[in-house]
């Protein structure tokens, strides 16, 4: 029987208090409460389409602004992903996907290389969507890549509606992540270096 790929963590700072449970081989079930409606919506979509189970509760200093909550939730999620993957033995490692949402089209490419590198181009024009600053949407992807120790390229290729552009980006990332974390049927570490 294969070991469950899961992680539980708490992350408490002067700015946020986060409790998170992640199951990689899940069904897409989630319960996300960050205090920022649009962030909840995006993380719920990520879990659904990556088919990971995610419970995330965050109490943050939203009286200051949304930055700390958005950043710390992404850092916690990436850390949990890294922990659940372990030494990354037997995973596909690479994933890529396109996802449309009406007129918007996004592309995401992931390498679970152990070397964090975010390259994010969402092309958002609004200042905020549903209480989440658009600059922090980009920062969520960056923080996820750093703490998840992955190369993450996300590009929104077209779209007029910023909600659609952002959501397509999360869905494409979810689909690419689903590929990358999939078990490949073997037990090798997918690297010529022998370590990821």
- pLDDT, tens digit (0-9, with 9 covering 90-100), for 57-82: 999 999 999 999 999 999 999 999 99
Nearest to 83 by CA among 149, 32, 155, 176: 149
140: pLDDT confidence band, cut at 50, 70 and 90? very high
| pTM exceeding 0.85 | yes
Please provide the average confidence, as pLDDT, over all residues in the chain.
97
Do residues 116 and 142 touch, judged by C-beta distance below 8 A?
no
Q: Which fold would CATH assign to domain 6-181?
A: Ribosomal Protein S5; domain 2 (3.30.230)
Q: Token pair 């088919």 is at which residue? A: 51
How far is Cα 126 from Cα 107, in angstroms, rounded to an integer? 20
Residue found by looking up tokens 């700015």 in the block: 15
Nearest partner of 66 among 126, 16, 11, judged by Cα:
16
């Amino acid at each position: 029987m294969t070991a469950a790929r899961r992680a539980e963590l708490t992350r408490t700072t002067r700015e946020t208090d986060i409790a998170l449970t992640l199951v990689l081989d899940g069904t897409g079930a989630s319960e996300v409460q960050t205090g920022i409606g649009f962030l909840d919506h995006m993380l719920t979509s990520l879990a659904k389409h990556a088919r990971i189970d995610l419970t995330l509760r965050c109490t943050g200093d939203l009286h200051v602004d949304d930055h700390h909550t958005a950043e710390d939730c992404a850092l916690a999620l990436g850390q949990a992903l890294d922990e659940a993957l372990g030494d990354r033995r037997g995973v596909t490692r690479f994933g890529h996907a396109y996802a449309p949402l009406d007129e918007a089209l996004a592309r995401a490419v992931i390498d679970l290389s152990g070397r964090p590198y975010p390259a994010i181009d969402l092309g958002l024009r609004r200042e905020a969507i549903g209480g989440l600053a658009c600059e922090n949407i980009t920062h969520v992807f960056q923080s996820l890549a750093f703490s998840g120790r992955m190369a993450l390229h996300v590009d929104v290729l077209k779209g007029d509606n910023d909600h659609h552009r952002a959501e397509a980006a999360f869905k494409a990332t979810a689909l690419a992540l689903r590929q990358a974390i999939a078990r490949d049927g073997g037990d090798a570490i997918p690297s010529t270096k022998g370590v990821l």
